Chain A
């Protein structure tokens, strides 16, 4: 079995040599234009990153207003939270000139807080800030990764690190979301009262995030192998 950690450490030692090699071949690399799809993804990534930065700045400003108590009452605090709902209603289904009776039993909805207690405001804002930090960190690493790909530097040690960082960030986001949703359902959803519907405590598991994290981690290992092969090819005279 190939020891990846040992490989990365050895690579750090050869970093100076790699830099030398990169500068020698820089002119050749510059002449190669990245494929159109890569350039499109890169532009989209840049736009998404700039937007995430702007959104984060707005959230930080918003949080400061909430924390300092300067959030004016006429500027209402709107929060949408996804919830599963138990409903019971009978309706009709018209098809091929026939009519069948149907009933709706479950639905997905959003809780829209029109205005909430200051403590909860702070709680929501903190949760939003943490989630945004995870997303921003992930976007930053993905942007750097895409920048390297655009430059034609595919199997680089830096790319392996970026992929691992993204995987760990996604894993962190998944754990955080699970914990947050657990607390949210235990402390908040159970306290809602509606006349005609009942909120269930079924929560979204966000397993797609976990799968994405595992996939990226696996991809990082594939990149490690690719990096080794590239290095060998580079050093074959």
Chain B
């Protein structure tokens, strides 16, 4: 996956549990778990804003782009056509 979610890293830095974040942000544990595992396909701005506010960080601290050579991104294959 090209975008990596570093939620667990930020949680460790802030010494906060997933349950506490879930309560403070207002997102269910299952949804946070999806996000943490990297199974999520998209993230709403409102969610990102709420998480950043609670964890007192920037979106870049949670999301990280990781170049993945094994998979060609969609926009590249689209432009080749």
Q: Please report A residues at the B interface, Cβ cutoff 8 Å.
A: 17, 21, 24, 231-232, 235-237
Contact = CB atoms under 8 A, between A and B. Distances in A.
Contacts of B35: 237
B71 to A, nearest CB: 12
Interface residues of B, number: 13
B54 to A, nearest CB: 14
B58 interface: no
Contacts, number: 26
A16 B1 CA distance: 19
Contacts of A236: 40-44
Nearest to A24: B30
The 4 closest A-B pairs by CB, nearest first: A235-B41, A236-B42, A237-B35, A237-B31
A17 B41 contact: no
Interface in B24-81: 27, 30-32, 34-35, 39-44, 47
A interface, over-half SS: helix
A230 to B, nearest CB: 11
Contacts of B32: 237
Contacts of A24: 30
A24 to B, nearest CB: 5
B31, B32, B41, B43 — which one has the most chain A CB atoms within 10 A of its CB?
B41
A231 B40 CA distance: 10
A234 to B, nearest CB: 8
A136 B30 CA distance: 41
Contact of A235 (B27, B42, B47): B42
B64 to A, nearest CB: 17
Given A231-B41, A235-B40, A237-B32, 4 more contacts: A24-B30, A235-B34, A235-B39, A236-B41
A237 B43 CA distance: 5
A232 B30 CA distance: 16
Contacts of A235: 34, 39-42
Contacts of B39: 17, 235
Contacts of A237: 27, 31-32, 34-35, 40, 42-44, 47
Nearest to B81: A1
Contacts of B30: 21, 24
A194 to B, nearest CB: 65
A18 B41 CA distance: 14
A17 B40 CA distance: 12
Nearest to B43: A237
B31, B34, B35 — which one has the most chain A CB atoms within 10 A of its CB?
B34
B32, B40, B44 — which one has the most chain A CB atoms within 10 A of its CB?
B40
A231 B39 CA distance: 11
B38 to A, nearest CB: 11
A237 B28 CA distance: 10
21 contacts: A17-B39, A21-B30, A24-B30, A232-B41, A232-B42, A235-B34, A235-B39, A235-B40, A235-B41, A235-B42, A236-B40, A236-B41, A236-B42, A236-B43, A236-B44, A237-B27, A237-B31, A237-B35, A237-B40, A237-B42, A237-B44
